[in-house]
Structure 1
Amino acid sequence: MQITDILAQMGGLQSVARELGVNESQVAAGADALIPAILGGFKKQAQAQPTGLEGLGGLLGQLGGGGLLDDVLSPQPTHVDRGNDVLGQIFGSKDVSRAVATNAAAQSGLDASLLKKMLPMVAMLVAGYMQKQGGAAQAAPSGGGLGGLGGLGGLLGGLLGGGKSGGQASGGGLASMLDLDGDGNPLDDILNVIGKMR
């Protein structure tokens, strides 16, 4: 299942649509275009952490963890500054966030200004979901604390793979779990832009 579908089932896309005053199908199209870059940013963070996925799990916790997801789902207005903190961490600059929104606008046909508003909220949904799923795996009795790391690694690998190749998340090590090369995913182009701007 695509992560956009998962977030829709959880009510995340409805919350974003309600808050921004647009319809849910627009939010779904925007999320489909934005999420690959967000996941790519988390992939880069995992690779940059000296402790890999463990470091990424800690980073997600510092940014607000599962509370980020709850914030967007809440009937109260979303604290988008928390989403901007996530974006600052994974993209490094506002220029990269703008490039991601512009790229998503070209893909989805939606207005770039709408996507700029959506981006921090979608980043919060993704980060909160990843933390909750990784934490759930860690809480499971799997013989030590590595359950959460495997859970987060498998989750991130599976999300990046988009569910197209089921075995991708279970390969050997971080590199294969998060490998994107050669799948024709437009994310690679976005990450090239991000890499040049950092």
Structure 2
Amino acid sequence: MQITDMLAQAGGLQSIARELEIEPHEARSGAEALLPAILGGLRKQAQGGGGGGLGDLLGQLGGGELMDQVLAPQKTDVAPGDAVLGQIFGSRDVSRTVAQSASAQSGLSPELLKKMLPLLAMLVTGFMSKQGAAAAAPGQGGGLGGMLGGVLGGMLGGGQPGQQGGALGGLGALLDANGDGNALDDILRLAGKARG
């Protein structure tokens, strides 16, 4: 099952649609366009952190509670989502570049996608934290990293695990200019050019 479907089943996409006052199909389209960049950023963190790095990071950023906040009926405080984006992207310029690129793919406005990004980051971080806690046996640090690889492998139906070029699918494949399977380095270069 694709992560977009998992988030929809958990009620996350409906919560984003309600919060941003958009149609559910728009929330899904925006999520499908933004998720490869968010997952690519998490993957970069996991590769750089070693051991239980990703699990530790998800816990530090708020863990499963982040998902609960988005699913709650009251308006979501997006500050934790901005913190997640800051951790995985490093700058607002990258978030803007991701929103612009996702806009070209989804047909939704960059302004709407910029509002969606922190909510989606909270949803994904919380979801992965809950899934990782359920899946990882005590003493196994690699559970979340393996799960992230599996999610990326099935992302938007693109590629098989291990075929990194297609694993990011959609936006990730479009942004992965150097074909290394991780679009984040290419996004960072784009942001650098936009800033200059």
**SS at the partner of 1:79?**
coil
Could you say which residue in structure 2 is the equivalent of 1:160?
Answer: 152
Structure 2 Cα separation of the partners of residues 167 and 194 of structure 1:
23
Structure 2 stretches lacking a partner, 5+ long = 176-182
Q: Any conservation in 1 of the 2:94–2:188 contact (CA below 8 Å)?
A: no
1:145 counterpart = 2:129 = no
Corresponding residue number in structure 2 for 1:172: none
Q: In structure 1, what residue type is equivalent to 2:164?
A: L
* Cα drift, residue 24 of structure 1: 0.5
Paired position in structure 2 for 1:88: 86
CA apart distance, 1:136: 0.8
Amino acid at match of 2:184: L
Q: Which residue of 2 is the match for residue 180 of structure 1?
A: 164
Q: Identify the match of residue 76 of structure 1 among 74, 77, 97.
A: 74
For 2:30, the aligned partner's letter is G
- Deviation for aligned residue 1:125: 0.5
Where do 1:22-37 residues align within 5 Å? Answer: 22-37=22-37
Contact 1:158 1:166 in 2 (8 A): no
Name 2:130's counterpart in structure 1: 132
Residue identity matched to 1:193? D
One-letter amino acid matched to 1:37: A
Alpha-carbon spacing, 1:184–1:38, altered in 2? closer, same or farther (3 Å): closer
Using the aligned pairs only, state the percent identity: 59
Query: 1:42-57 alignment to 2 at 5 Å?
Result: 42-49=42-49, 51-52=50-51, 54-57=52-55
> Which runs of no fewer than 5 residues in structure 1 stay unpaired?
169-175
User: 1:114-133 residue pairs with structure 2 within 5 A?
Assistant: 114-133=112-131
Letter aligned with residue 99 of structure 2: A
- Mapped to 2, the partners of 1:117 and 1:13 lie a distance apart of 14
Q: Check conservation: 1:46, 1:56, Cα contact below 8 A.
A: yes
Q: Which amino acid aligns with 1:44?
A: K
User: Of residues 170, 182, 187 in structure 2, which corresponds to 1:194?
Assistant: 187
CA–CA separation in structure 2 for the residues paired with 1:127 and 1:182? 22
Letter in 2 for 1:24: P
TM-score (norm 1): 0.84
**Residue type of the partner of 1:62?**
Q
2 CA distance for matches of 1:32 and 1:165?
A: 12
| 3-state SS of 1:181 partner | helix
RMSD of equivalent CA atoms? 2.0
Query: Matched residue of 2:75: which SS?
Result: coil
CA-to-aligned-CA distance 1:130-154 (integer Å, 9 cap, x gap) = 101111123x4xxx411xx343123
Q: Does the 8 Å CA contact 1:133/1:151 hold for their aligned counterparts? A: no
Distance (whole Å) between structure 1 residues aligned to residue 168 and residue 90 of structure 2: 25
Q: TM-score, normalised by structure 2?
A: 0.85
Amino acid paired to 2:11: G
Return the alpha-carbon distance in structure 2 between the equivalents of residues 166 and 183 of structure 1: 5
Spell out, residue by residue over 1:62-97, the C-alpha distance to the aligned partner (whole angstroms, 9 max, x if none): 000000000000011111011000000000000000
**Secondary structure of the equivalent of 1:113?**
helix
Amino acid in structure 1 at the alignment position of 2:32: D
